[in-house]
C-alpha cells in the first residue's frame, strides 16, 4: 500500500465525525490508559498483600458484581440526568474509590471498596454509548463505535505494559495513577464534551406528549431482549480468552509467557485491523455480519481443542479476534437501532449488563467444565454456543426497523463542529 493510499484510508476513516465525538473518543483513550486495577488486582492481592487465590477471586467477583448492578443504574441516570452528568459522576467516583482502594488493608474493606470501584467504573458506559448515538449520524455509527473500540484496546494495550513496570516499583503508584488519569478524563468531559440528551416533546393542542421510556418497557421489548441474550452468549465465548484459555494452556505445560505471547496477537490485530475492517463492513447488512462473527467466535475457540503449540494457539486467537473486530461495533450499533431515542440510556445499560453478567458466569463455566470433563468439552461448548447465537441472530433480525435519519440536536451554544467534512 502506497503512502498516499494509506493517508486516504486514514482520512476516510476519521472524516465527517463531529468534534464532540473526538473529545469523547479522547476521554475513552485516557480512561483506558489508566486501567490498572482490572489488570493487576489479583497479583496485588496475592503477591503484595499475601492473600489467597480464593480471596482474590472473591474480590474480582465483587468488582464484577458492582459492574452488573451499575449497568442498569447508569442507564437510568443517563436518560434522567443526562449523558454528561452521568459520566462526570461515574468518573469522579471511580477516581476517588480507586485511590481509596490503594490504601485499604483490612480484607473486608478491600472487598467493599473493590465493589464500589466496579460499580463506579462501569456506570459511565451506557452514557458514553448513548452520547455517541446522539451526536453521530446513523450512517457513521458503526465507524464511530469501531473507532471507540479501537481506542479502548489501544489504551488497554499501553496501560497493561506500563502498569507491569509500575507494579514492580509500587502497586500504590498504580492505584494513584489510575485515579489521576480517570480524574483527567472527567476534567476533559467537563470542559469539552457538550450534553446531547434529546429533549422530549411536551405535546400541545392536538399533539400527544412523547411517552417516557421506563425499565419495564425495555424488558418487554422482545426482540431487543433477544439481542441482549445473544450478546450474553457471545460474551461467554470471548471471555474464555481470559479465563479458559490460560487454564487450558497451563494444563498443556505452557507458561505465563506463552499465554501472554498468544494473547498479544489479540491486541495487535485489533489495533492493526479494527479501522480497515470497519471500512469494509460499515455499510453492510448487520444480520450477516453478526451471524458470521458468531460462527467465527464459536469455531475459533472450538479449534483450540486441536492446538498443541504456541503457534497454533496464536492462530486460533487470530480467528476469534476477527470475530471480535466485526461483532463489537456492529452489535453496539444494532442496539442503538433498536432503541427509542429517549430510552437510549436504559437500553444501553441493559445491553452493557449482558457483558458484565457474562464476566461473572464465564469463570464458573470454564472451571466447572474443565474440571469435570476436560478442556476439549469447553471448546466444543464454545462452538455450539456460537452456532446457537448465529441462528438466533438469523431469526431475530428479520425486518429490522429503519434507522432514524438524524442524530439528536445539540444546543446551538454547544453545537459540535464536524471534523474533515
| Domain-wise residue ranges, the chain | 16-197, 216-401
What per-residue confidence (pLDDT) applies to 209?
Answer: 54
Transcribe 363-387 into DSSP letters: HHHHHHHHHHT-HHHHHHHHHHHHH
What per-residue confidence (pLDDT) applies to 414?
Answer: 44
Contacts of 225 (CB under 8 A, 6+ apart): 218, 219, 350
What per-residue confidence (pLDDT) applies to 413?
Answer: 39
What per-residue confidence (pLDDT) applies to 41?
Answer: 80
Would you give per-residue pLDDT tens digits along the chain (421 residues)? 555 655 665 666 677 899 999 999 999 999 888 877 777 787 788 878 888 877 887 888 888 899 999 999 999 999 999 999 999 999 999 999 999 999 999 999 999 999 999 999 999 999 999 999 999 999 899 999 999 999 988 887 787 777 767 777 788 888 999 999 999 999 999 999 999 998 876 555 555 556 778 899 999 999 999 999 999 999 999 988 888 888 888 888 888 778 878 888 888 899 889 888 888 888 888 999 999 999 999 999 999 999 989 899 999 999 999 999 999 999 999 999 999 988 999 999 999 999 989 988 888 888 888 888 888 999 999 999 999 999 999 998 876 666 654 444 444 434 444 454 3
16-197 and 216-401, same CATH topology: yes
Q: What is the pTM of this model?
A: 0.85
Options 1.20.1250.20, 1.10.3660.10, 1.10.10.10, 1.10.3720.10; which CATH number does 216-401 get? 1.20.1250.20
What is the CATH topology of the domain spanning 16-197? Growth Hormone; Chain: A; (1.20.1250)
Determine contact, residues 351/335, Cβ cutoff 8 Å: yes
What per-residue confidence (pLDDT) applies to 308?
Answer: 85
DSSP structural state of residue 196: -
Q: Is 360 exposed, middle or buried (0-12, 13-18, 19+ CB in 10 A)?
A: middle
List beta partners, residue 207.
204
Other Cβ atoms closer than 10 A to 244: 26
Amino acid at each position: 500500500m502506497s503512502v498516499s493510499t494509506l493517508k486516504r484510508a486514514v482520512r476516510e476513516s476519521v472524516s465527517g465525525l463531529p468534534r464532540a465525538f473526538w473529545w469523547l473518543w479522547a476521554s475513552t483513550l485516557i480512561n483506558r490508559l489508566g486501567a490498572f486495577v482490572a489488570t493487576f488486582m489479583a497479583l496485588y492481592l496475592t503477591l503484595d498483600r499475601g492473600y489467597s487465590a480464593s480471596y482474590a477471586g472473591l474480590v474480582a467477583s465483587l468488582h464484577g458484581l458492582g459492574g452488573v448492578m451499575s449497568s442498569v443504574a447508569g442507564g437510568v441516570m443517563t436518560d434522567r440526568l443526562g449523558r454528561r452528568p452521568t459520566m462526570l459522576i461515574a468518573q469522579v467516583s471511580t477516581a476517588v474509590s480507586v485511590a481509596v482502594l490503594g490504601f485499604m488493608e483490612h480484607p473486608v474493606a478491600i472487598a467493599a471498596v473493590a465493589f464500589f470501584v466496579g460499580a463506579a467504573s462501569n456506570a459511565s458506559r451506557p452514557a458514553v454509548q448513548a452520547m455517541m448515538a446522539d451526536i453521530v449520524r446513523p450512517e457513521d455509527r458503526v465507524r464511530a463505535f469501531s473507532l471507540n473500540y479501537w481506542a479502548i484496546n489501544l489504551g488497554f494495550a499501553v496501560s497493561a505494559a506500563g502498569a507491569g513496570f509500575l507494579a514492580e516499583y509500587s502497586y500504590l503508584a498504580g492505584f494513584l495513577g489510575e485515579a489521576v488519569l480517570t480524574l483527567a478524563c472527567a476534567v476533559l468531559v467537563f470542559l469539552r464534551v457538550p450534553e446531547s440528551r434529546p429533549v422530549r416533546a411536551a405535546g400541545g393542542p392536538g399533539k400527544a406528549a412523547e411517552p417516557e421510556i421506563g425499565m419495564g418497557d425495555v424488558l418487554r421489548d422482545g426482540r431487543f431482549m433477544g439481542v441482549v441474550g445473544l450478546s450474553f452468549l457471545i460474551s461467554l465465548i470471548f471471555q474464555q480468552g481470559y479465563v479458559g484459555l490460560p487454564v487450558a494452556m497451563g494444563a498443556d505445560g505452557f507458561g505465563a509467557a506463552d499465554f501472554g505471547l498468544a494473547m498479544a496477537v489479540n491486541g495487535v490485530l485489533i489495533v492493526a485491523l479494527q479501522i480497515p475492517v470497519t471500512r469494509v463492513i460499515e455499510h453492510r447488512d448487520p444480520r450477516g455480519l453478526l451471524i458470521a462473527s458468531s460462527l467465527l467466535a464459536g469455531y475459533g475457540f472450538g479449534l483450540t481443542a486441536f492446538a498443541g503449540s504456541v503457534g497454533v494457539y496464536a492462530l486460533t486467537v487470530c480467528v476469534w479476534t476477527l470475530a471480535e473486530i466485526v461483532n463489537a461495533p456492529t452489535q453496539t450499533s444494532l442496539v442503538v437501532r433498536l432503541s427509542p431515542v429517549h430510552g437510549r440510556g436504559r437500553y444501553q445499560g441493559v445491553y452493557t449488563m449482558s457483558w458484565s453478567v457474562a464476566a461473572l458466569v464465564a469463570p464458573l463455566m470454564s472451571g466447572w467444565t474443565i474440571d469435570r470433563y476436560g478442556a476439549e468439552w469447553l471448546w466444543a461448548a464454545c462452538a455450539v454456543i456460537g452456532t446457537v447465537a448465529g441462528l438466533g441472530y438469523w431469526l431475530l433480525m428479520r425486518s429490522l426497523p429503519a434507522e432514524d435519519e438524524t442524530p439528536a440536536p445539540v444546543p446551538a451554544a454547544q453545537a459540535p463542529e464536524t471534523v474533515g467534512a
